[in-house]
A and B are shown apart, each in its own frame.
Chain A
Amino acid sequence: MRRIILWFFTIIILILIQTAILAPFRLLPMNLPLVLVVVSLLFASFNFGLTLALGSGIVLDILSGLPDGVFAIAFVLVFLLLYFIVHNILTKEPNMLILFSAVAAGTLVYYILMIGITEFFSFFGSRHLIDVKGVLIMDLAKNLIFNLVFTYPVLQVYLWIEKLTQKITKPNAQSI
């Protein structure tokens, strides 16, 4: 439980960094929670990665203007797809090359899924439509670059939080 609470606040802090610190310096668009999900699929267990993908998606859904569920579905599908490719097709120990390739692939898949899911939601009367041409021409390249630039910092955050989680949960394990 402590681990989940800690990771919930980590997701919030990553979104805060993205919107309140990097956006005023025109470093946008980027998606730090997506990078975190990709990092988790390489370094964490299936269960934990899936929970993190769902949690990150729901938080972004609440904060975004798109219908709720769009980001959560996209994040979960990105996680499942990449997890399958990395663990069942590549079946290699994670390294930096795999990590950066996974972030790049994750960003591309995320954009395709977002467009698809939003179009699907529009069948059910959602008024929001994504400007597909604008998103693909203007945003995708910048998002890809920024996500890759921030992959290493997010990896460090991930490793640091995991260490912190171990420290927090250790006394409990001893008491048991």
Chain B
Amino acid sequence: MRFIYTKTFAKIFTIFVILAFFIILDATGYITFFKNWFLEGFGFIETRVSNLSNDVKSGLSTIFTIKRLAHDNALLNQTVDQLSFENARLKSAQDENSALRKALNFKQQSTFNLLAVNVLTLDPTGFTQTITIDKGQSSGLKVNQPIVVSPGILVGKITKLYNDSAEVTLITDPSITVNAEVVDSGARGLLRGEHGLSLLLDLVTQNELIKSGDSVISSGLSDDYPRGLLIGQVSAFRSNATDLFQKAYVSPAADLRNLRFLFAIQ
């Protein structure tokens, strides 16, 4: 008997018909409500279990790091003193800056209008760097809006919208590019995800001086991200003097595998 007349073929055919229906229903948006409901339910449980795991993890790491605490404390005290001094200096510079802006009739720098969102799920497969958040179209979110963690650290942008949830692609995903700037030198380049591990700052001209530890922010050149969002720190270099452009690895400032509470910039 030919294979196409067997029961096995009929079963396989049925499975592929179901699959085709699933893909069509998803593309036409008929299962969006079910997906939302499933994501919210799964996200609710996942958040609680994940919090518990993180508590256990931090409890265990406390035991292991307790020896280093005294040394770390001394170091941190020193850093606090240094930062306090720097903070005072920056405050004075900010006052001076705003006074000068006023005098020159410059537009005041606007603060961000933020909307708090919670993370529902992280992509469990590892093939993409995406998360799902608990607010969507009904809360006024739009595709391409930047997502940050509280102190203005860039996390990613909204790439797919549902009514009550949204998919955010993280900056470590290769499909995301950000116009970035190195704070100290002002060097500008294009930042792109390196498969969830780090970020690659590319297209930086050879005459710019960038060094390890330099902070990298969004330059605001494209409309997608406002200027000044912290992305991370330069961690290593991948190019040599003969290359046309400099390339540097940037470690993300946010812990992208442990995101819980975020903000959408509106």
Contact = CB atoms under 8 A, between A and B. Distances in A.
A62 B38 contact: yes
B11 A64 contact: no
A127 B46 CA distance: 27
A131 B124 contact: no
B49 interface: yes
A21 B11 CA distance: 36
A119 interface: no
B195 interface: yes
A64 B19 contact: no
B22 interface: yes
Interface majority SS on A: helix, strand, loop or mixed? Answer: helix
Nearest to B258: A24
Contacts of B39: 62-63
B126 A143 contact: yes
A68 interface: yes
Interface residues on A, range: 35 or more
Contacts of B35: 62
A69 B26 CA distance: 9
Interface residues of B, number: 46
Contact of B159 (A16, A25, A127): A127
A19 interface: yes
Contacts of A28: 126, 257
A16 B43 CA distance: 10
Contacts of B195: 131, 133-135, 138-139
A24 B50 contact: yes
A121 B12 CA distance: 21
Given A21-B49, A23-B122, 12 more contacts: A28-B257, A31-B125, A62-B38, A63-B124, A64-B125, A65-B159, A65-B169, A69-B23, A118-B127, A127-B175, A131-B174, A134-B174
